[in-house]
Structure formats: C-alpha cells, structure tokens
Structure 1
C-alpha cells in the first residue's frame, strides 16, 4: 500500500563556519508531521489519512500484518483509532505496546484528546507501577513489559482482540519475547476456536523479510510520511570528548538561530544529562544581551512521568527549549518545535557474556539505524538540521542495525517469566532472533541456583519459590532477596533498599560542591556499605515527610526518591498478596546484610593479597567505584549490584558481608568457587 510522495521544499542553506566543532555537510530527506489549526484538521492532514479506507479494508481481512510507516506518517496514533472506529476488534481491547513508558503516556494522552475523552476511560494506559484504565477502556497503550506481565496470568491474552506491537525495530528484550508470546496466543486461540487475535507489527525502519517470515509470511504494508529536508553535518575531525563537542555545538546554535527553533541533544544517561543541564543553565546566565533565554529540559527513563512530560510543554516567547535526552527520544514521541538535533553518536547499553557471567553497562557507538532515527527528530514539522559529532568515515563503520537486546542480556528474568506463562519448553521457545544456547543454559543455571526451577523427568519446572519470584516486576535476584527477607525478619528494610535500587540514583553529586556533598552525607554513611547508606537516607527522607527542601540541602534527588517510594508501595502490595509477614529488623543491620548476601550471592568479590578484588564466580578483576562509600576501604568480601565498564570494571552499590554467610546460602557452589580461586 503506497501513498503519493509529498513534494518538499529545498533544504535551507546553513553554514556552520563559526562552530568551534568543525562540520562538513550531507543532506537527507526524512519525515515529519506538520501541525495545523485543530486536532481534527491535524488528523486529516496526516499522510496516513489518505490511505485510511484502503488500510481498514486490508486489516479487516488479515490476521497478521507488518506495517512500515515512515516517520511522521501518523501510524501510532491513527491506526488504533481507525480499527476502533471501523468496529474491528471492538469485542475486546485494542492494545498498543511501546518500549518506553514516556511514549505510552504521551501517546495515550494525545489519542484521548483526539477522541475527546477523559484519559483512563475509552483511551487509557498501563506502565510499570501505574494503571490509568477502566472497564470502559477499549484503546490501551502499554509498555511491552506490562503486556508480558498480563500474559503470565492469561497466556491467551483473552481481553485483547487486537495487539499492535509498535516500534518493533527497537528490539528490546520484552518486545522480542512478546513476538513469541503473541504469535503463540494467536495460534492457540485459533486451535481452541476462541475469538481470533489480530496482530499488527509497526515500525519506521525494520528488517522487513525477517519480520514477515517470523509471522508466517505476513503481508507487508507500506506507508509514506510527509517529507521534510534535513541537512546533516558531520565533524571534519573525530572528537575525543563528545560531551564538550555537544556543549560547544549547542551554544553556537543557540547564539545564532531563531529563538523559536528548539534543540534536541542525545546523551547517554542521567548523570551526563543532569551535569550538562546544570552547565547549560550556568553558561546561559552570562550570555550577551539579545540572546534568547534557554529553558533546559532533561529527558530520561527514570524521570517521574510529570517531569518527562515537560518536554511537550511550550516555553515563553523569546525563549528556546533545549532538550537533553537519552535514546528515549529517538522514536515514538514527537516533540514539536525541534529544528536542530545534536547527535553524540553514543548510547549506554548492557552487554552480557554468558561464558564469563559478566554483565556490564557500557557506553558504545549507536548503529546506523539509530543515527537515522535521531536525525529524523529534526524534520518532523519543517526542514531541520542535524549535527553528528563524528566524521562521515566513522559513521560508515557503524553497525547497520542494533544487536537485539535478547542476544546481549542476562536471560534469567526472561526464562522465569516464560515458565510462569506455562510455555511447554523454554529451551526451544520460538525467538525471532534466537539467543545462543550458552546464554539460555546460563539463565537456567542461574534460576536453578536461586531455587526457582526444578528438573523432573527431563522437564524444567518452576518451583513454588519460582512462581512467587515471577510475581515481582524485578530481576530474579531481587525477587529472591525480597522473598527471603521474611526469614531474616527484615522485609521492610529489604523492600526499601530494592525500591531505591530500582530507580536511577537518588543521590545528586554536583561536581562544584564536592565538600558540601561530603559534609551533608556524613550523617548517613554506613561503614557497612552503600545499601545501608541508602537505607539511612530513605529513613531520614521519610522522617521529614518527604520534604523537598531537606532533599536540596542533603543533595538528594527528590524526584527519584518519590519514585522509589511509589515502587516500594507496589512491591509491598505484592508481598501482602503473597501472604508474606512484613517485619522490621529495626537497628539490626546484620540481618539485612545477611539477607542481601543470600539473595545476591552470585555477585560477590573477594579481596586479594595485592589489595585488588576479583569476582568469586568468574575471577574477573574488579574495582570499587569511586561513588561508593567503601571506595577507601578494603573489606574482605563484598556483594555488588552491577558492574560498570569504563576505563576498568567497577562494582557499583556494595555491601560488606561475611564469608560464612556464603556457605549458608549455597554451600556446594561456594565450596567450588572458593576452592578454584585458591588454585
């Protein structure tokens, strides 16, 4: 299915000669949506509107289809409405999955506005720890992780008549598992003569053949978006410091461009974004008269929804909005007013090696597909400009597509949830991009060590403990720790620690106020490690009734603490449903650390004679991260939450433990590990 291509105005000439970061240019045509007077006129002006009748007729006849729509075609907001308005799937819910919560929230709000309905009624959303739906909801936006959780209780997804898997090209681990789950649900419903499930896979850029073949040679429908020219500038020389290059480029644009033209810069994570936001605000105070005021808006996954939605709010006349974002802004969401994009070419991604058991969070180059998605943000409404902070030669060496997350992550959580869905044989699950047999086996071995699975007559089965672990939207190691906490009479404290660890850092460390930070933190620091320190901070936060001023004085991130408080409340509800006794250990921190050791026993490091550390399971050399309260200490044994690989492999979030606790939790495992270490 094709739409006639829209003609585009020629690219506006722009010479970045005065930029301190030197660029060369390349032009590209990418899509956009142009805002018009009313919501209804906007809907009618979208390219997809011209194909509405043809599209509805096609989808009415098909059980499954792949819809490729160029950026700006309107597919994400309009297709669910077209299906509903045409009566397709009205007997159930039209569910639209998104990889990210901010997209699910903003899209639901937009479609509710277009349908002239209150959010949570006809149109609603469900994201982790938040549900805005009702019995009236027929169009439901939700994160792919939330649909997976629904599938645990109902593998046939009986409430849904249509499932739209949007942004399929992102290939998050949840999306890839959903492909298999939805495909199986569709087949089973047909076999059992149940009402059919219609499946629609939507994407802007995707390996069409791979998707079509996987979904039983599903037809591929094409939509074209409105074209707006985008000029792309590459740097003439490779940049050794992408953050400095981004800052220089940002202020050069800010001083030369019209105030109404907003800037979007892609960075890699919360710490980077918050640090640059502060720098931008500081510098902008000292710019010459006549320069627009700068409104800096951060955007990353762990920001509370109200903060994330600030990117969509307009700024006063004469001001420029500058959005500093992770790859969360690459797809799905349309932020109006963006004229300039600064692409650092970097992204933070997890990589897991099943042979070594090492999972590291590392900053790496984006793939070409990601770079084009980022460029496209500049051309949504009019011609735009993208500055790539790398050379064209470097770009040509980028991978074409991002490696699916399912092939580079620890699969323990995936396997646990597949088994909770009663998948007959998780070892042979129908993955679109199958992980290596080693990765699958390593995940099963981990679940075995955690006591979540049992082998019976050659079959892999969930234990009673494993079924309880699957009830939590957490990594298996954290679920196990919570479930163990009642044995150690410290459930309230463990819930707090895991809730705080489940959000981005609650500590704010402005580099210009190091002494003030250290002084403020002294009263919370525990010699027993970061977990106990975080527990002390949360207790103090609660004692002052979540006071914002207290947070400011103590360099605590109020937004993340509030989010941790919400997460804790949800986890506590799950514990109560499971009938867990929720006790507090009061001031007995030994029990808390012992519980953490029992739950996180696969994340242990041992001090060596030369003063360095190695992990017990893989003998990987590791170091204590400078942000840890144990940075200047040398405890004999520590457990850690994750490894971060930068110049070396750092352990983050540490807790001091006793070696005998390890023998208690998994005697055979540790006898083997400690013995091999000595050898």
Structure 2
C-alpha cells in the first residue's frame, strides 16, 4: 500500500486518500512522503504540512509520530497551533498544524513557497476553514506546479473531492480493526428490560414536531412486532412518543449491563456538556455503579487541552474507564483502549437562520457518517461492541452526511479573509467552494461589516477593515482591541479579547456547577458584567502567581493551562497593536502605564467594551420591583424575548444600573439566550452607535432605530457635535496609526479628556435602578418600552 500511495503522489499533483479512522493515514502518509523525499536526495526541499481541524489532534498526532520515529518533538516532526508550537526543522520535516495556521501562512506567503507537500486531513468534517482552504488551493495549484496536495478523508465520500479537483485519482486504505457487534434500540430494550420513564411536564414543541414525523416509523414497528422481528415488550416501549428522545436513565441502565461484561473502556457519545453533567450525576446516584471501580472522564471541546489528554491514559488494572464525550471523540483523536461504545444518536449542531438573523444550537439526529464513525471507535484492541440508541428503521432514515459548516454559519470572518488574501469580491470567490453558502447569509455578513465600517459600499476593505482582517479574532472583538489603545485602557481589554477569542478560564467539575457559579458571582461583584468578571479573575491570578499562591486556581475552579493560554494571547494581541503602530515601540508590555491611563476607570472600560460589541445591544424590560428568580426578559432590535444564559453572571442579578446590555453572542437554544453581557449606561451607545437622530415629537435621541434616550434638543446637539469630532479623530487615527495624545494642548487630547470626563460623570440615580421584568409563560406583551429609559436634561 505504501508504494501505491507514493507512486500516486509522485505522478499526480492532487491525490484523494480515504480510510477508516485508525487506519494510520494521519500518522503514516506524511512520514511516507518525507522519507521518500529524503531517500531520493530531495530532503532539503521537503517540508510536509498536515492540517488538523482541532488543536488536540494536531498535538497528539505529532507526539505519536515523533514517538514512532524514536525522536523528541522538534527534530523531523513538530506541531503548531495558536500560540503553542514545537517547531520542526525547516526541511526534511513534517509539521502538524490547525487549518487556521495555514490561512495565516497564506497572508505572508500567498504561494506557500516553503511547503512542498500540503496534506489536508479530516476533510470529511467540512468545517468552514477547511472548505475555504480547499478552494484556495484549487486556485493555487496552477501557480505552484511543484506543490503536491493530498486530501485525506475518514469516510468513503472521496468522489466529491475528486470531482472538485477535476477527477484526480483516489485510493482507499482499508485499515484493520477487530469485529464490532452492533446493537440497536430494539435489541437493547429486550436485553436490559428497560422501561422509559414518563416525560416530565409539558413536552417541548421541538419534541412534538419530531414525534409527529415518527408516525411512519411507529407503523413499521407495529408490523415488525406482528412478524415477530421485535418483541412485544420492546415494541410497547418504542411506541411511547418520547422513546426517541435522549434518555440518560437508559444510558445508566446500559452502563450497568456493560459493567457485567468483560473488561474494556467505555465511550459514551452525548450532544453537549449539560448531557455529560446530567449523566454523571445519575451515575453518582446509582448504587450499583458507585460500587464499581469506574474512572469517569468528561471530554468536551471547552475543556483545557491538558485535561483532554487524560483520556488517552490507560487506567490501573481492575478499573474501567468511562469517557463521556461529545462528537470531539468521533474523529481526529483515537482512544486506543475503547471496547464499548454507546451512541446516543444525537449531536449538537449550530445553524444560522437567515430569516431571523440568529444562530441556533440544538440537538439533532446524527447522520449515517456520524454513526459509522462512532461505531469505529470500538474494536481497536479487541472485538468491540457498539450500542446505538435508535432503531434500525431510524438509521435508514438518517441523512448520509452532515451539512457543511459553511452552509450553517455567519460569514464575516470568511469575507475578511477573502479580502485580506486579495481573492476578489466575496460572492464570486465563495461560489468556487465545493458548496457555496447562501447569498442571503453572505449579504447579512457584508451588511454587518459595512455597519462597523470594515467594508465600504463597494465591498473594499476600509482602513479599519484592513486592521480587523489582519487580527486573528472576530471583527467585533478586534474593533474593541483597537479602541482600547485609542482610549488608553489596553490591559483589561487584552484580557477580554483573549477570553472572547478562546474560552473562559473556569473548569466545571462534574457535580460542582453551582459552586462555580458562586465563584463567578464573587469575582463579578457589582460590575454587572461577565467581561469585567474575566478581568478580575485574570488580575487575581496574576497577583497569585506573583505571590506564589499555588492553590489559587484549585480554590477558584480555574484552569491554569487556560489562564496561561489567555496570557499568551494577551501577549500576541499586544504585539499586534505594536505592529499596527497603535502602541509606541518602546512600550514593553500590555500592562505598562503609558497605555493604561484609564484602565482603572470602569466607565471608560465599559464604554470600550460597548464600542466593540455594538450593535449587539439588548434592553431590559422594566418593572417597578425585583422579585423572583425567574428568567429576566430583554429585547433586541430584532427579537422581543431574549434571556441571559444561565452561565452569565447577570442571570443571577435582581436589579441593574441601566436598562442597556451589550453582549458577545445571541444564540437560540431552548430560548434565545445572550452570552457574555455587560450592563452599560447611555453615553457609550450615543458615542459608538451608528446613526443618531433627534426625534422632536418624542423629545429623544434615536440611535439606529432601537436605542432611544430622552433629552432636550440642546443636549442632543451637543452630543451630535461631540460625536462628529470623535468620528473624525477615529477615522484619522485608523488611517494613520499612531499613539493617542492626552495632553491638554492638542485638539485630540482635549477631545479625549472631555469624553473620559463625560463617561466618568454619567450617573444614574440609585433609587431608580432597573428591575427587569420576569418571564411568564403566557406573557406575549409587545409593548414599547423606550419610554421607561432615563432622561438627560
């Protein structure tokens, strides 16, 4: 097989290689190529780059290959992920990296002249960056006839990729696995005699819709019962309308059954972290499972990389490892001691609803490709068993493959990538992709980029857009970072930007969720802000490190590795501000006083957060008093009922200083939730909103048709004049990057000091705190609420 692969690579510029997960393609093929080049005397011209869709896989595969070669990382094998790398030698080498690293390489080297072989792995996952890179390489190949491209997929849909590259040759690596016995829901119900518990409360609408679509399957089950293919007891359970819902009690019962089987690790696939937490709680409460020697390990993409590595370790003799995982364990990583797999049949998927301009996150049926991958996790070291918690009939009705990510996501960052790589107008280029995104979604993304002044009316990068496109973060966070330099509060915003671009530093041990919420509330204090809470956490950790307090992270449920990554990202962002000339070259760190004149001024920091996150603004519906713990209702410009996600610190608050919230993300789950929100007063919205208009009939300033604040026309004119001057200075600074001037002798210094003074003096009467209206099941109130806002005189 090795010779056949190498011959194809030698004779063709593009080769598509497919093989089951675990066949060795990821670890072996790049080595085959490198060794052949070295043996042929071309080692000095060989540099193989192999992309991976996830950080953990780039690291673990590189470690495995180096170990196979009897080397330490950094010789012929290395890896590079964001802010973490063990570089290999420049020639005669293999580098494993995330897809984003190659996109960054293209900014500085559009021809990838340092790469001899580009291996795009796990392309069947169809993530946005991989699809984007595939389209770029198709245009790149004619310009680099010496570049070899190897596309590797874990499934047998290689024909699509071959067709995209003009019918390039394909090869399949069979791979060896032990036999895997598969059981389906009807078999499992018979074996363990399980009865579904009655549903709690009213069935959710999404479940009702799904049950209606299952009527045909129920009819077939009745036929199978009549023929004797399904037992009477199993058929009775399968007819229950909630039998196809995710049932953690069923998984616990199945784990009891597995614990009576021969030794072997268990891998349980569930949709999300909440399901992992629920399942772990039920396992703790089960007297039989408590009596077993089980090592339960959660595996989720939000966990620190260091914690994720624990799943690869073999447990002591007599201990059974149980991994509770999301789809992160489907591909990319191989846990080599798994014998039993429980496939819940569900996966969490993000989608974008163009009609409501809203991202959604919901559990969906897996596809046949997902189920096949999950089955393949068993049988790596011995004969395995896979339990599918859906019927054989349901499997026949599953979709073949997941929908590519680029068809179900927003496109702002992709548009900026198209522009910074000088690939032309967004629509014509994106139509070159294997499956081009919806034009309406593209228009929505372009409209946002125009609204934040990243693109002009002709879809060209503005000076601001140029800076945002070169920052490795989303455009709203990037704008916040640039504004922090302008308003001299860099240190706290470096932290905010790093957390928003990576993940929050809290570790949530299974069963300790409420304790973590209490720690968050303690750090947040009276800031009414997730963002300022993150700043306090990082500053406290930095102080603890200075004082050598080694117990700080443990006591506060914090991940040392995530905080260290946040620190590295802060350093990277600070370096980028210097590179873009928004920070003077002599400034040595993001915490230097020269760029933090206002970092201690919470009003200014809030305003800069708002400047970045706008137009993500929500308004609390107000009542005369605070009361229950029920969810608080907010509204945004396009949604009338929005709630804080329970993980937000503001979800636990009973009253606020202002009705306005700026937020990172709005996501539809069981309800429409806001994530990472900060309570802000009026002036930040007036200063950083887009369009200001005084409405004399209402005696109020209107900002973009949503934010309305009562004031006199005289006050409105002053604000508009100040805003005009601010916009002019900002436009000049973005076009001519330079450090801000704070002296009172310059026009810029006078303006900046006046704005800081204005922000600092904005007060709201503490007796007029804003108590949010609480959610009531039958509350369809759509009343206008702007009249409830405070007035300026």
Q: Same fold (TM over 0.5)?
A: yes
> Could you give the per-residue CA deviations for residues 581-630 of structure 1, whole angstroms, max 9, x where no partner exists?
352334311111111111111211123467732212x2352112233222
**How far apart are residue 454 of structure 1 and its match?**
2.6
1:613 counterpart (628, 634, 643) = 634
The whole-number CA distance in structure 1 between the counterparts of 2:469 and 2:89 is 26
Partner of 1:380: 380
Is the 8 Å Cα contact of residues 281 and 511 (structure 2) preserved in structure 1?
A: no
**How far apart are residue 512 of structure 1 and its match?**
5.9
Partner of 2:271: 268
**How far apart are residue 573 of structure 1 and its match?**
2.8
The whole-number CA distance in structure 2 between the counterparts of 1:209 and 1:551 is 50
**How far apart are residue 162 of structure 1 and its match?**
1.0
Correspondence 1:245 to 2:195: no
**How far apart are residue 283 of structure 1 and its match?**
5.9
The worse-fitting range, judged by mean Cα deviation, of 265-274 and 364-373 is: 265-274
For 1:485, what is the secondary structure of its paired residue? helix
For 2:486, what is the secondary structure of its paired residue? coil
**How far apart are residue 413 of structure 1 and its match?**
0.6
The whole-number CA distance in structure 2 between the counterparts of 1:71 and 1:485 is 46
Correspondence 1:673 to 2:714: no
Partner of 1:118: 72
Is the 8 Å Cα contact of residues 336 and 381 (structure 1) preserved in structure 2?
A: yes
Partner of 2:136: 181
The whole-number CA distance in structure 2 between the counterparts of 1:183 and 1:323 is 39
> Could you give the per-residue CA deviations for residues 404-436 of structure 1, whole angstroms, max 9, x where no partner exists?
000111110111112111112322112111001
**How far apart are residue 93 of structure 1 and its match?**
1.3
For 1:619, what is the secondary structure of its paired residue? coil
> Could you give the per-residue CA deviations for residues 20-69 of structure 1, whole angstroms, max 9, x where no partner exists?
xxxxxxxxxxxxxxxxxxxxxxxxxxxxxxx1112211221001121122
**How far apart are residue 262 of structure 1 and its match?**
0.7
Partner of 1:353: 353
Is the 8 Å Cα contact of residues 303 and 559 (structure 1) preserved in structure 2?
A: no
Question: Which residues of 2 match residues 82-481 of structure 1 at below 5 A?
Answer: 82-87=32-37, 90=43, 91-136=45-90, 138-190=93-145, 196-236=146-186, 237=238, 238-253=243-258, 255-259=259-263, 261-270=264-273, 272-273=275-276, 276=279, 280=283, 287-288=290-291, 291=292, 293-429=293-429, 430-455=432-457, 458=458, 460-481=459-480
The whole-number CA distance in structure 1 between the counterparts of 2:25 and 2:679 is 52
The whole-number CA distance in structure 2 between the counterparts of 1:156 and 1:309 is 35
Partner of 2:645: 625
Is the 8 Å Cα contact of residues 524 and 649 (structure 2) preserved in structure 1?
A: no
1:563 counterpart (562, 565, 574) = 565
Is the 8 Å Cα contact of residues 526 and 532 (structure 1) preserved in structure 2?
A: no
For 1:306, what is the secondary structure of its paired residue? helix
Q: Kindly tell me: are residues 75 and 626 of structure 1, through their superposed partners in 2, closer, same or farther at Cα, counting changes over 3 Å?
A: closer
The whole-number CA distance in structure 2 between the counterparts of 1:270 and 1:115 is 37
Is the 8 Å Cα contact of residues 605 and 637 (structure 1) preserved in structure 2?
A: yes
Partner of 1:604: 617
The whole-number CA distance in structure 1 between the counterparts of 2:537 and 2:655 is 21
Higher strand share: 1
For 2:646, what is the secondary structure of its paired residue? coil
> Could you give the per-residue CA deviations for residues 643-666 of structure 1, whole angstroms, max 9, x where no partner exists?
233321111211112344223223
Q: CA RMSD in A?
A: 2.8
For 1:667, what is the secondary structure of its paired residue? coil
For 1:226, what is the secondary structure of its paired residue? coil
Question: Which residues of 2 match residues 72-87 of structure 1 at below 5 A?
Answer: 72-87=22-37
> Could you give the per-residue CA deviations for residues 214-235 of structure 1, whole angstroms, max 9, x where no partner exists?
1122122222122432122222
TM normalised by structure 1 equals: 0.84
Q: Can you give the 5+ residue segments of structure 2 that lack an aligned partner in the other structure?
A: 187-237, 584-589, 624-631, 693-701, 709-782, 787-793
Q: Can you give the 5+ residue segments of structure 1 that lack an aligned partner in the other structure?
A: 1-50, 191-195
Partner of 1:39: none
The whole-number CA distance in structure 1 between the counterparts of 2:333 and 2:478 is 32
The whole-number CA distance in structure 1 between the counterparts of 2:88 and 2:515 is 50
The whole-number CA distance in structure 2 between the counterparts of 1:243 and 1:506 is 28
The whole-number CA distance in structure 1 between the counterparts of 2:403 and 2:35 is 37
**How far apart are residue 160 of structure 1 and its match?**
0.8
Q: Kindly tell me: are residues 251 and 154 of structure 1, through their superposed partners in 2, closer, same or farther at Cα, counting changes over 3 Å?
A: farther
Count, aligned residues: 615
The whole-number CA distance in structure 2 between the counterparts of 1:121 and 1:570 is 25
For 2:184, what is the secondary structure of its paired residue? strand
* Bigger Rg over Cα: 2
Question: Which residues of 2 match residues 512-661 of structure 1 at below 5 A?
Answer: 514=514, 518=518, 521-522=521-522, 524-545=524-545, 547-581=549-583, 582=590, 583-584=595-596, 585-608=598-621, 612-616=633-637, 618-631=638-651, 632-633=654-655, 635-661=658-684
Is the 8 Å Cα contact of residues 359 and 409 (structure 2) preserved in structure 1?
A: yes
User: Higher relative contact order by CA 8 Å / sep ≥ 6: 1 or 2?
Assistant: 1
For 2:179, what is the secondary structure of its paired residue? strand
Partner of 1:48: none
